[in-house]
């Protein structure tokens, strides 16, 4: 089916989807560019940020929190562990459960990087008024919930 053969609602939905993805890709690239200075990937930053704000988490909960599969999360945590920015231990109650912790060096790094991250996000979203940001948040939540 060619674009001109689609219904108006299909064209409208595809147009909205393309705009959403272009905006998300541009904003994501701009926001995460600053992480390079600290040799962090977006996923590594997400793990450190989650542990910083939530405390130690089992890998399953951590993966759900940062929207990563178990296999992908294992790779990310492995790389952070090699840098000594996190450490793992097995739960005393359930040996199948692996908990991820933030040692002092990891906490120091994320405590330094996170405020800069918040400033970059604020700057990127400044093109929208506070009301527009609220509207966007509501619309994205609605779309994300499929309602």
DSSP string for residues in the chain: --GGGS-HHHHHHHHHHHHHHHHHHHHHHHHHGGGGGGT--HHHHHHHHHHHHH-SEEHHHHHHHHT--HHHHHHHHHHHHHTTS-EEEE-SS-TT-EEEE--HHHHHHHHHHHHHHHHHHHHHHTTS-HHHHHHHHHHHHHHHHT-
Q: Does position 72 have pLDDT exceeding 80, yes or no? A: yes
Q: Which of 1-5, 8-12, 132-136 has the lowest mean pLDDT?
A: 1-5
pLDDT (average), residues 79-88: 96
State yes or no: pLDDT of 8 exceeds 80.
Answer: yes
Terminal Cα distance for the chain, rounded: 27
Per-residue confidence band for 102, with pLDDT thresholds at 50, 70 and 90: very high
Nearest to 27 by CA among 143, 135, 117: 117
Q: How far is Cα of residue 87 from the mean position of the Cα atoms in its chain?
A: 20
- Please state the rounded mean pLDDT for residues 70-96: 88
Does position 60 have pLDDT exceeding 80, yes or no?
yes
> Given a cut of 90, is residue 3 above it in pLDDT?
no
| Segments forming the whole domain that contains residue 131 | 3-145
| CA pair distance 53, 48, nearest whole angstrom | 9
For the chain, what is the domain count? 1
- Is the pLDDT assigned to residue 131 strictly greater than 90? yes
User: How far is the C-alpha of 73 from the C-alpha of 75, rounded, in Å?
Assistant: 5
Which tens digits make up the pLDDT trace of 21-45?
999 999 999 999 999 999 999 999 9
User: Is the per-residue pLDDT at 134 higher than 90?
Assistant: yes
Closest Cα to residue 19, out of 140, 116, 124? 140
Query: What pLDDT score does 107 carry?
Result: 97
Give 101's strand partners. 87
Max distance between CA atoms of the chain, in angstroms, equals: 61
What's 78's domain CATH number?
1.10.10.10
Q: Could you read off the pLDDT of 104-113 as tens digits, one per residue?
A: 999 999 999 9
């Amino acid at each position: 089916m060619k674009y001109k053969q689609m219904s108006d609602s299909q064209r409208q939905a595809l147009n909205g989807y393309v705009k959403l993805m272009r905006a998300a890709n541009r904003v994501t690239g701009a926001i995460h560019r600053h992480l390079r200075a600290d040799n962090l990937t977006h996923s590594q930053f997400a793990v450190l940020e989650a542990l910083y704000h939530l405390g130690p988490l089992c890998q399953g909960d951590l993966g759900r929190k940062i929207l990563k599969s178990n296999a992908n999360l294992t790779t990310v945590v492995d790389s952070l562990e090699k840098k000594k920015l996190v450490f793992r231990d097995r739960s005393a109650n359930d040996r199948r459960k692996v908990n991820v912790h933030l040692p002092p060096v990891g906490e120091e790094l994320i405590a330094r990087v996170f405020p800069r991250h918040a400033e970059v996000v604020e700057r990127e979203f400044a093109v929208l008024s506070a009301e527009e940001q609220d509207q966007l948040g509501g619309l994205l939540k609605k779309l994300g919930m499929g309602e």
